[in-house]
Amino acid sequence: MTTDFVDDIKALTFDVFGTVVDWRGSVIREGEQLNAAKGLAIDWPAFADRWRAGYAPAMNRVRQGELPWTKLDALHRMTLDTLLEEFGVADQLSEADKQYLNRVWHRLTPWPDSVEGLQTLKQRFILATLSNGNVSLLVNMARHAGLPWDCVLSSELAGHYKRDPEVYHMAANLLDLKPSQILMVAAHQDDLQAAHREGMRTAFVKRPLEFGPTATPDLSIDPCFDLVAEDFLDLARQLT
């Protein structure tokens, strides 16, 4: 892979869930605290996986017009309410408990390399989220986790969810940059493939533990990826 294009890059946009933060470990950790506080016996690894599995179908309901534009917090809550019923604990949690649990997505913990890697990259590039998380979620997460974004860009600003083209166009328009001046960073091939189709440069960062230690995530390298990195520290070494 050639890195001749790097001098043209002005901004890095980041997928967040799974790429920057460990959503699964964070949900499990807080869920186990809830078990202890409420005397519950929820299988939180299974619950976290099911909650995340509801992510794409919920967004598709918006994409297909079954739901009007609905921000991710509300989609997460729809899935959460269904799961609490399925796990037989809906009646054991108050509305305040449910609201707090739903906002666990605002309190996700970064991967160990994320903050240091971002701080290094920030010395040379504009750093922005480009996430399906709503703006308030991303802002709260940044404050909680110490993520040094220059700005928070959300699919909410486009009224579309990734992988719709409008999200990537929105980022370029708001940053006042050509798509080719933006490097999209993600741990998910389809996100990078969609960004590539809209003219962005792409960096694939491997996150083999995103779905837990027993999962076998797809770490295959698409030829459209301009860079491949083991983590954010490796990405910073390649770019700075």
DSSP for residue 93: S
pLDDT of residue 2: 64
Confidence of residue 4 (pLDDT cuts 50, 70, 90): confident
Contact 151, 182 (CB under 8 A): no
Distance CA 202, CA 199 (A): 9
d(CA 3, CA 226): 8
pLDDT in tens, 5-30: 899 999 999 999 999 999 999 999 99
Give the pLDDT confidence of 164-195 residue by residue, as tens digits.
999 999 999 999 999 999 999 999 999 999 99
pLDDT of residue 22: 98
pTM (predicted TM-score):
0.95
Instruction: Print burial letters for 128-142: b (CB count within 10 Å at least 16), e (below 16).
Output: bbbbbbbbbbbbbbb
Helices (H), 108-159: 114-122, 135-145
